[in-house]
Chain A
Amino acid sequence: MDAKLWLDPLIGGIFIGLASSVMLAFNGRIAGISGIIGQSLTKINPMNYWRYAFLGGLVFGGAMLNAFRPEFFEFQIHLGWAEAIIGGLLVGYGTQMGSGCTSGHGVCGLPRFSTRSMLATALFMTSAIVFVGVRTIFFS
């Protein structure tokens, strides 16, 4: 494989690892993004301030990187409104029901060999691959 293809994903992955290690080392928390968003949607509470700060960093980080390196955001979204709405509902509902997403279960759970996270990651990877596969094979 061409180095350009995997180098950016690898560098990005290391940054994601660094970010979640910073969260654990300083805040003693798992950087599980769906959980942090879900908890932040409850009543405003000083116990949630670290969550607001993290989410602020996440949103601001995208805007900041775009100012210096816009090439990472040079893509268009070709998907439809139905995918945006139904996909959003499923991602929101599913991550709260399953207590985590790619970051909490994947990035933070797998390196701890958490049984729950290993199973969750295997399941969401499988259902995502099956969904995309069925869609590609039968509907395109």
Chain B
Amino acid sequence: MHLLTSFISGLIFAIGLSVSGMVNPQKVIGFLNIFGDWDPSLAFVMGGAVLFNFVFFRMILKRESTLLKTDFSMPVRKAVDKNLVFGSILFGIGWGMFGICPGPGLVNLFRFDPKILVFVLAMMVGMVLFRKTQKQ
């Protein structure tokens, strides 16, 4: 059952990313281009999602357990560290460069656009690279 709900969450997420325009790298770069020909419309994506979750996360987290009677598994780290700071800065540069963050990369896979495929592959290589450096 938890696999089905997880799949459905992914499905709804994909619809949201597509309808919102987050899957379109030109649109994303236009949103980031506040010093140029700025297209502010994508602010409504984060705004809508955060407001929705502000209301519903609160209601959900008031419960003792999930709707499937399992425990919540929330992030526990509270301290700000160097990795958080430098990792986020690097991610932002990559996002500004190709206009695609991890979710839209996967949603766009069905297009079989060679540049999307290369981007997703490079992203996975980058992920494994960081994990390998951490293990040593």
Contacts and interface: CB of A to CB of B under 8 A. Distances in A.
Interface in A34-57: 34, 37-38, 41-42, 49-51, 53-57
* Residues of A in contact with B, size category: 35 or more
A62 B13 contact: no
A89 B107 contact: no
A27 B94 contact: no
User: SS class of chain B's interface: helix, strand, loop or mixed?
Assistant: helix
Contacts, number: 455
Interface string B20-32: 1111111101001
Main secondary structure of the interface of A (DSSP, over half): helix
B92 A128 contact: yes
Given A87-B95, A92-B129, A12 B18 contact: yes
Interface of B: 2-27, 29, 32-36, 40-54, 56-57, 60-61, 65-68, 70-75, 77-80, 83-103, 105-111, 113, 115-116, 118-131
Given A87-B122, A127-B96, 8 more contacts: A13-B49, A17-B51, A20-B9, A54-B9, A92-B128, A93-B127, A123-B88, A127-B92
Interface of A: 1, 5-6, 8-31, 33-34, 37-38, 41-42, 49-51, 53-66, 72-73, 75, 77-79, 81, 83-103, 105-108, 110-112, 114-116, 119-121, 123-133, 135-137
